[in-house]
Amino acid sequence: MKAEVANLLFLYAGIVLINTVLSAILWVRHRTLLHRVVFQIWAMSLLSLSLQGLLGQSNFLIVLGYTSVCLVNCTMAYLVARIVELPFGWRRFIVVLAVACALSFAIDRLGFGFTPTALPVAVAVVLPLFVVVLRALLQRWHRLTFSGKALCFSCLLFALHNLDYPFLRPLEQYAALGFTLATIVVFGLSIFVPAVVLEIVTEQQARVSAEIDVAHRIQTAMLPKRPTIPGIEVACYMRPADEIGGDYYDICTVGDHTWILLGDVTGHGLRSGLVMLMAQSIMSSILHARPDIAPAELNRVANRILYQNLERLDEQRPMTIVSLCRTNTSSTKTEHRFVVSGSHDNLYVWRTATQEVEVITMDHFALGLGFVPDLPAQGVVEREFLLSAGDVIFLGTDGVFEAPDGGDYNRGIFGEERLVAFLKEHARTPLEEAKQDLTEMLDRFTRGIYHDDVTFLLLRALGPAA
């Protein structure tokens, strides 16, 4: 009999140990709350098993070691509550356990046997799991999946098995039966706990994926569909590093002015994408409210609004910006007058007259938008330049210049020299074709591995014939 009990004990401990190790690996890999709770259930089960083996000198010490099972029951109850979205409070059950321990101590001092001493603690130990599981079955039955219902019934069996402890523990002839029941219950939990967690995590991932897809479609819809500027050939490209990008561009005509806007929000992903949509809304609102605003003043006003919004969101995601404005009334068929103000990567202009690339630095104010509450008027300047027929403007984010060689920054980046050489080579190529060539060049250089959003605009001044 003793050998049989020992074998069952080792089997039970082995199942608990294996589940502890596997749940720890899954928690490390996925880092979700549910995976952490599952690990805690099995780790506490292992701890409780050890404590019950160590504390065995007297009836009350044996019962005191058994109180550790309450941690397992409470954590399991918390898992069920999270799954079915029920509130769960620890404090009242801990108070009940403390009262039960005091009552058991008093019963033991009065000289009663093991069963009366252990019974108050056993009831307090199983109470949280009984209460939560019964509420789940009664109030959430139709929402539970098959695995969820099976988990609830497995938890009830686990609680009932804990409740037989005061009666079977002192009877050695029932030790094998007790460990057999424990092994069966733990085996059921080993199946249904990860099954339910997998269902919930998969559902959450699907929900997040759907939300990201909606955000991506909204972001894409906000971009200009077929941007046109009278007398200017235009080609635009955007490639987010994730499903949602932090780059921003817009081309719009308001009154007598055509605006070309390009920005890069710090970071990339969903949060940066939301800030990007916020920036687009801010810029568009200002331009329609004040169609004659200058680029420098546009950046100053946008900075104040964006900073306040980021403060409310507790987000540290400022953005670099280029605000480029063409005054339509002062532009001619052969020359286009632009005014620019920005804090961003450089702007490049291929000049047909010199066959060279002019670099216009975007350092018209010290910081981008959203860094500080206000940009002083004297610290924000703007520059005017002319674009002659055939001249080409390149305006891009750092995802172009800092594209990593083979996806590895240690091997180098795309850099300014390659871009300048590309502009010289494609100066007279149709811009849609040049855009395609540049994206293919970047793909070859990075081997398709991008760590940042890539956005650029190409503009060419057309001649009188066009």
Over residues 282-302, the mean pLDDT reads 93
Is the distance from CB of 369 to CB of 319 less than 8 angstroms? yes
Query: C-alpha angle with apex 427: 397 to 345, nearest 5 degrees?
Result: 20
> pLDDT at residue 168 above 70?
yes
In this structure, the chain runs to a length of 466
Whole-angstrom distance, CA of residue 277 vs CA of residue 123 = 56
Distance CA 63, CA 97 (A): 12
Predicted pLDDT at 330: 65
pLDDT digits (tens, 9 = 90+) for 186-235: 888 888 988 998 888 888 888 877 777 777 777 777 788 788 888 899 99
pLDDT tens sequence across 62-113: 888 888 888 899 999 999 998 888 988 888 888 999 999 999 889 988 888 8
Per DSSP, 387 falls in state E
Residues pairing with 335 in the sheet: 388
> Is residue 465 very low, low, confident or very high in pLDDT (cuts 50, 70, 90)?
very low
Name which of 248-252, 367-371, 390-394 the model is least confident about: 367-371
Instruction: Specify the pairing of strand 392-396 against strand 454-461.
Output: antiparallel
Task: Give the pLDDT band (50/70/90) at residue 466.
Answer: very low
Q: What are residue 229's DSSP bridge partners?
A: 232
Mean residue pLDDT of the chain comes to 87
pTM tops 0.95, yes or no: no
Distance CA 161, CA 72 (A): 13
Q: Which of 1, 38, 3 is nearest to 23 (CA)?
A: 38
d(CA 69, CA 395): 65
